[in-house]
Amino acid sequence: MISKIKLKSFRLFDSLDLDVSNPLVILSGKNATGKTSILEALYLCSTGKSHRTNDLSTLIRKDDPFSIVEVKGDKQFKYVISKDSKSLFINKNEIKKISDFIGNLPEVLYSPDDISLIKGSKLDKRRFLDIEISLLDKIYLRNLNAYRKILAERNEILKQNTIDFNLLNVINERLSEYIKEIYNRRILFLDRMNELLKDITLNLNSENIRLIYKSTYNPNDVLDSIKKHEKSDLFMKSTGIGSHRDEFIIEMNHLDAKEYASEGQSRLICIAIKLALMEYIKEVSKKDVILLLDDVFAALDKTRIEKLVGYIHNSYQAFITTTSVLEIPDELLKNALVIRLEKKER
């Protein structure tokens, strides 16, 4: 359980020191008071990434040289961000590899921005897959990093005026092997998520949801697919198929949710996916999972709020943001630690 959160020069916070030793923490305040930024800091210590930006230097408070996030639970996590570098620590020991840092603090974050899983780009969906699988599967992370290096090598070859086809063939074989490994692990992840979603969607009285993987190649013969696409790749001077081009779609009652889901349905689908992810992480890691819920109740009707309350009660620890505690069900509020945030000038 997380007991302390300390922020220095992070987003709008000059300095923040919170004692959060409670299974349920509610962060209440008007917009732009830093509620979401606190969840972002927690997520940063879990995944090494922000869910709001790819440029971590933007997390540093204006005119300050660096930002510090410290989170204390069973372990102590520290993330120091400067304009052009970052330093990671667990229990005061510096961690040189991001792969050794991530996944030590199991968390699942729901944010209204998660609607990008449905309405967003292929990149948004791949990012979801890569982050969530990498947190639990270090082999996947190594394969993904190796694939990206080989992909960059192949793209450099494709840009040459004179192509070394012997070298290209060797690269193609290596690329195909990593594509198969990445594909298999993505499929295993989505298959288990789909099994978990069956019970969750039933409990939430939601439409049936399935996550369907869409590859850009024939999974049964990846190398042949690469060779067949080679002429196009040579013309475009870039690799047009592979793990970096794949995606998944979300089906709602056998229809593409991107085309047919309303905004309310889309929010509910995202919540269901995150609850399935929480169960998946608990199952695979054998660890307790912290639930981060950003403005979640605004997306639900009374009946579904009651169902969600059950999942919150069953979580190890939950952090919930809200603009008003009146949105929080009484059965949650009575046992919660409520932290009220006031608006601050940057």
Residue type for position 67: S
Structure confidence at residue 302 as a pLDDT band (50, 70, 90): confident
State residue 184's pLDDT score. Answer: 98
State residue 314's pLDDT score. Answer: 86
Structure confidence at residue 343 as a pLDDT band (50, 70, 90): confident
Q: What are phi and psi of 157, to 5 degrees?
A: -65, -45
Residue 345, pLDDT above cutoff 90: no
Distance CA 143, CA 155 (A): 18
Residue 346, pLDDT above cutoff 60: no
State residue 262's pLDDT score. Answer: 92
At what angle are helices 263-285 and 302-314 packed, to 10 degrees? 10
Spell out the domains of the chain, with CATH numbers in brackets.
1-106+293-346 (3.40.50.300), 114-286 (1.20.1050.90)
Among all chains, which residue has been given the structure tokens 């359980």?
1
Q: Which two tokens stand for residue 2?
A: 């997380």
Q: Are 322 and 295 in contact (CB under 8 A)?
A: yes
Region 42-68: mean pLDDT is 95
Distance CA 249, CA 255 (A): 10
- % the chain with pLDDT above 70: 99
Distance CA 277, CA 128 (A): 11
Q: Which two tokens stand for residue 198?
A: 């069956």
Alpha helices per DSSP H over the chain:
35-47, 98-101, 116-119, 122-136, 138-158, 165-203, 222-228, 230-236, 257-260, 263-285, 302-314, 330-333
State residue 344's pLDDT score. Answer: 64
Q: Are 86 and 45 in contact (CB under 8 A)?
A: no
Kindly give the pairing relationship between strand 317-322 and strand 290-294. parallel
State residue 300's pLDDT score. Answer: 85
pTM (predicted TM-score): 0.94
**Sequence-separated (6 or more) residues with CB below 8 Å from residue 185:** 133, 137, 139, 140, 143
